[in-house]
Structures are given as C-alpha cells and as structure tokens.
C-alpha cells in the first residue's frame, strides 16, 4: 500500500515584546527617512522580540506544543523532529535535540535543517519523503524558528527586518496524496552577502572578531531583486512540472514574508491573484525561518485554506537557498 504524507495540524508562537516602527525611527533618527522607506518597500510595520534570556529553542517550544495539541498527539508519540533555523541555540549540538528535551519528545529522533528561510519547505519535503519510505514513521514534527534579533548589533539598521517567532506543522501518513512535489534552487556565489562570518571554522570567534562585529549577523552586500522576483516563479513552475499540475490549479500560496511588493510581482508573473496568498509581515515583521509556517498557520486559522486546496509554499534564504513544497490539504 502506498504511503503518502499529509499536514494534519499547524501551530505558531509570536513573542510578547513589540518593537514598532516608531521605536526604530527614534533609534535610527540619524538616518533620514530610513524606517519610512523600509516600511514602504516591505510593508513591515512592527515586529516582536523574545526576552533576552530566551534562546531559539524556547521560542520553538510553544509552537511545537500547539501543533501537537491540535493534532491530538502527545510529545512521546513524535517519531522525528526536523527543525529549521539559522539562529540556533549553539553552533553544535543541534537545536532540534534541545527542543526534543524541552518538549519531552523522548522517543523522537532529531535533526536540523540549516538553509535559512528556505528551511520549512525543505523540512516538510524531507518529512514527506521519509514518511513515504519508512513505515516506522507515524508522526513527524517540522518546526521553523527565528531569533535573529539576538544575533544582530542593536545599531545595525537591518535589525528592522528581524522579528522573532516560530511556526510548526505535524505530518502523518495518509491514504491519499498530501505531499505533491518539491523543488529547490541555490547559488552559493552569494554566500558572503548576508550572514554571520565569525564563530565557526571559517573564522573561530576571537576577542578581535567580536569587537569588530564579525560575530554578529550583517548584510555586506544587497541581493539583486531578481533573485526573488525571478527565482520564486522558477520554483513554482518547477513544483508544477514535478507534481504534474498547472499554475492555474494552485489554490493558495505562501511565500517568504520579507517584502510584500515582491510577492505582488511574483504572483503577477505567475498569473495568480493576490487573493491566493497570505501575508503577515505587516503585523509580525520578517520572521525568517519561521515566516512560512507562521503565515500558513495564520491563513488556516482565518479559514483562507480549505480541505482539498492545492497549497504551494516557497521559501528563500541567505546563501542563497530557495525551496518549494506543494501539498494537497486534508
């Protein structure tokens, strides 16, 4: 009997400390109109940060619990945890194993996916493939989580983008296709554009590298707009080709929540209306590795996605990595 994988529940967590654009406008008053221009180009109006004594696994925990509760599953029933982030608790060990411990999912295996904001589509595609091929896997928890503001310098204007949060999904076997297809793109020529470049094997952290800011996340060079504006449609068209469906068959889309105008351009390229997507950057900011599952959960909660809908998710992360996953919703 063929095994398929289906998304049976989702969950999310947004921390309580709000940092509105008005607060950042005061912080960066020395840069004329900076925050106003950033809001206009992104639609981001605010963001929420976790307490400074929280680490990334602490943010992931409430989202994971909510997704499991909605699926009617106890943490001990989880067989596998896949966690995507580029703001981990540690360089090593993996944040997924820390979450496993805090969640009490003592029977679960764990691993991290480290392709930044492409991690959740990548993680769900991996989970679907493993469920289809391994009859021992019954309940897989996929989490995307972001705590990047804690790795940024407070006076870095790019902190405008960093909102903390987590989203999660539970995937289980199904008799009918849930997972439809996946697609991935990457171009490592951009790997020095935006990241944290001291603190691992390229340059172990030293007093000098910390003092000079190299242990903090930094944008060193802007990504050309066409990376997303041309790359996302390519991912969607690859999903359609791989899954045997037409673009017009797509019922709903979720894209990386970094710039709303980018989503508008991409949907116009694909010939899809804005009614077939959902954005949350306006109310929660850019939540990186967590933004796709957070937007998915919010859309489901608002009743914007129905049973039987063909859902396409596309994430784009620094490096750069791009990944998409298509699911037929239960």
Cα 146 versus chain centre, distance: 8
> Are 90 and 209 within one domain?
no
Question: pLDDT value at position 1?
Answer: 66
Q: Where do runs of H (alpha helix) occur along 168-319?
A: 207-211, 226-243, 260-270, 281-284, 291-301
> Are 161 and 20 within one domain?
yes
| pLDDT tens by residue, 17-40 | 999 999 999 999 999 999 999 999
> Are 226 and 133 within one domain?
no
Question: pLDDT value at position 138?
Answer: 98
The mean pLDDT of 139-163, rounded to a whole number, is 97
Task: Look at strands 17-20 and 4-13 and give their pairing.
Answer: unpaired
Please give the residue range of the domain that contains residue 255. Answer: 180-328
- Residue that finishes a domain, picked among 154, 175, 196: 175
119's CB contacts (< 8 A; 6+ apart) are 84, 85, 86, 113, 144, 289, 315, 317, 323
Check whether 166 has a pLDDT greater than 70.
yes
Distance CA(123)–CA(29), nearest Å, equals 40
> Are 157 and 197 within one domain?
no
> Are 18 and 148 within one domain?
yes
CATH of the domain at 85: 3.40.47.10
> Are 231 and 322 within one domain?
yes
Check whether 225 has a pLDDT greater than 90.
no
- Residue that finishes a domain, picked among 121, 155, 175: 175
- Residue that finishes a domain, picked among 126, 149, 175: 175
Compute the mean pLDDT over every residue in the chain, rounded to the nearest whole number: 97
pTM: 0.97
> Are 161 and 218 within one domain?
no
> Are 209 and 145 within one domain?
no
> Are 62 and 115 within one domain?
yes
Under the banding of pLDDT at 50, 70 and 90, the label for residue 136 is very high
Q: How many domains does the chain have?
A: 2
> Are 217 and 167 within one domain?
no
The mean pLDDT of 238-264, rounded to a whole number, is 98
> Are 251 and 323 within one domain?
yes
Instruction: Please name every residue paired with 30 in a beta bridge, in sequence order, or none if there are none.
Output: none
Under the banding of pLDDT at 50, 70 and 90, the label for residue 2 is confident
Check whether 171 has a pLDDT greater than 70.
yes
């Amino acid at each position: 009997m063929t095994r398929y994988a289906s998304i049976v529940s989702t969950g999310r967590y947004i921390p309580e400390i709000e940092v509105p654009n008005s607060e950042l406008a005061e912080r960066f008053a020395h840069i004329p109109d900076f925050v106003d221009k950033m809001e206009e180009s992104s639609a981001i109006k605010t963001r929420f940060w976790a307490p400074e004594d929280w680490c990334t696994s602490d943010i992931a925990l409430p989202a994971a619990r909510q997704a499991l509760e909605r699926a009617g599953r106890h943490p001990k029933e989880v067989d596998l945890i896949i966690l995507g982030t580029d703001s981990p608790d540690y360089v090593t060990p993996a944040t997924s194993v820390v979450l496993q411990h805090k969640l009490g999912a003592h029977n679960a295996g764990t691993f991290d996916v480290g392709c930044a904001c492409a991690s959740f589509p990548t993680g769900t595609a991996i989970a679907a493939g493993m469920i289809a091929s391994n009859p021992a896997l019954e309940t897989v928890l996929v989490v995307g989580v972001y705590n990047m503001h804690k790795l940024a310098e407070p006076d870095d204007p790019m902190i405008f983008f960093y909102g903390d949060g987590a989203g999660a999904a539970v995937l289980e076997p199904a008799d009918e296709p849930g997972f439809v297809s996946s697609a991935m793109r990457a171009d490592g020529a951009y790997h020095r554009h935006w990241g944290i470049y001291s603190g691992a094997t390229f340059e172990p952290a030293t007093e000098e590298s910390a003092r000079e800011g190299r242990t903090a996340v930094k944008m060193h060079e802007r990504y050309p707009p066409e990376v997303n504006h041309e790359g996302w449609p390519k991912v969607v068209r690859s999903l359609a080709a791989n899954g045997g469906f037409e673009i017009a068959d797509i019922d709903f889309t979720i894209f990386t929540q970094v710039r709303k105008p980018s989503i508008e351009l991409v949907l116009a390229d694909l010939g899809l209306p804005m009614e077939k997507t959902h954005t949350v950057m306006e109310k929660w900011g850019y939540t990186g590795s967590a933004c796709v599952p957070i937007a998915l959960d919010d859309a489901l909660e608002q009743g914007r996605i129905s049973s039987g809908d063909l859902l396409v998710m596309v994430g784009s992360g620094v490096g750069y990595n791009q990944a998409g996953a298509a699911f037929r919703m239960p």
